[in-house]
């Protein structure tokens, strides 16, 4: 008798109190948080010690905040659409999230261009260097997530063409788990960016 692969997957999942994938994503989030907190503390220390003036963020930094919040929301809606077997809605929300994320990256490049036009260069002073470094690291973490998001989009359209393939896709617990992990990562990038914008904005008051 041929074994049921779905049952094997479910049995395999019950072995873990917390699936290793979740442990890995939270370890990744913890290490990234420590890195950004370290750079934030270094920025604040150097600013106070050197008596440097804080940098005004270009308006695009705030626009990018809205872009990330919206992309995080749309990915969460895609996850909900997956759970309720709404094929077309799920596909469109994934594409919308991917587009918003790419727009965020392009907009951030223009935000840096705006800084350069104000003659705030990477080599201008420590404050400018930290701003470019911190925002640049966040930029790289968004780029890191793009291939995983794009993979979901490609697979969703490739494997959801007929009722049987849609049923198989939506009944795969492994795929739902990966989608949840991607959603956690995207929410984290959103929260991290809000923190960074708030941090640089509050520095204007200190």
- Quick one: pLDDT band at residue 14, thresholds 50, 70, 90? low
Q: In this structure, is residue 11 part of a structural domain? A: no
The span from the CA of 146 to the CA of 164, in Å, is 28
Q: In this structure, is residue 35 part of a structural domain? A: yes
The span from the CA of 77 to the CA of 201, in Å, is 30
Q: In this structure, is residue 8 part of a structural domain? A: no
Q: In this structure, is residue 25 part of a structural domain? A: yes
Q: In this structure, is residue 28 part of a structural domain? A: yes
- Quick one: pLDDT band at residue 4, thresholds 50, 70, 90? very low
Domain count, the chain: 1
What CATH number has the domain bearing residue 70? 1.20.120.80
CA distances from 38 to 31, 41, 134 (A): 11, 5, 10
At 123-177, the pLDDT tens digits run 777 788 889 999 999 999 999 999 999 999 998 888 877 777 778 788 888 888 9
Domain that includes residue 54, residue range: 17-203
Q: In this structure, is residue 7 part of a structural domain? A: no
Q: What is the pTM of this model?
A: 0.87
The span from the CA of 25 to the CA of 22, in Å, is 5
Do residues 105 and 142 touch, judged by C-beta distance below 8 A? yes
């Amino acid at each position: 008798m041929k074994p049921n692969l779905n049952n094997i997957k479910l049995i395999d999942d019950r072995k873990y109190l917390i699936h290793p994938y979740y442990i890995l994503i939270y370890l990744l989030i913890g290490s990234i948080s420590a890195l950004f907190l370290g750079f934030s503390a270094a920025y604040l220390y150097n600013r106070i010690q050197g008596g440097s003036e804080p940098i005004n963020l270009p308006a695009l930094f705030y626009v990018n905040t809205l872009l990330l919040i919206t992309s995080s929301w749309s990915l969460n809606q895609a996850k909900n659409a997956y759970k309720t077997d709404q094929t077309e809605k799920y596909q469109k929300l994934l594409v919308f999230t991917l587009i918003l994320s790419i727009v965020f990256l392009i907009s951030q490049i223009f935000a840096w261009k705006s800084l350069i036009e104000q003659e705030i260069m990477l080599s201008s002073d420590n404050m400018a260097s930290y701003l470019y470094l911190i925002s640049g690291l966040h930029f790289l973490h968004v780029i890191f997530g793009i291939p995983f998001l794009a993979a979901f989009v490609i697979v969703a359209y490739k494997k959801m063409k007929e009722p049987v393939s849609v049923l198989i896709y939506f009944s795969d617990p492994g795929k739902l788990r990966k989608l949840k992990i991607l959603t956690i990562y995207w929410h984290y990038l959103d929260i991290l960016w809000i923190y960074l914008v708030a941090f640089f904005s509050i520095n204007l008051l200190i």
